Amino acid sequence: MGYQYYLRNLQGTLMYKDLRVCKFVIRDRELVSCEYNSDSLTCLPWSLSELGYGLTYAGFNDFFKYRVVKQGAQDIREYLNEMEMDHYDFETLIKKMNGWDAVGQWWVDFDNCGYHCWEDIRSGEYPIQYQDC
């Protein structure tokens, strides 16, 4: 079954541990702004590097697509229950995990919700309770 994973509206700062990599805004499936820290470009994830898609909507979408549990995953219902969700929603899962995949060091600092430093990301409680990230 072919599931669709597209970012519709998401904004925040992509972080590598406590290093600010780039502040981005995605609206209506389009990257409308991306301000990157030129000192951090050497640590971009592959999908956002020049070898991948670059700092584009496709790059961000691909980056997150591989960080979120897939809709058809085994035991997805139990996972959604743990995440306090009635149904699968790609963007909501990103927000509830601060964009972190629990094995890497990349995450998203959302301005008005979630955790805001690497130590809290690693040691925090999930899912994150958020309002309109």
The band of 29, judged by pLDDT with boundaries at 50, 70 and 90, is very high
CB 121 within 8 A of CB 107: yes
* Reported pTM: 0.86
Q: How far is CA 97 from CA 51, 59, 61, 67, in A?
A: 26, 19, 16, 10
Distance between CA 10 and CA 94 in Å, rounded?
9
Residues 38-72: tens digit of each pLDDT = 776 566 776 676 555 678 898 899 889 988 998 98
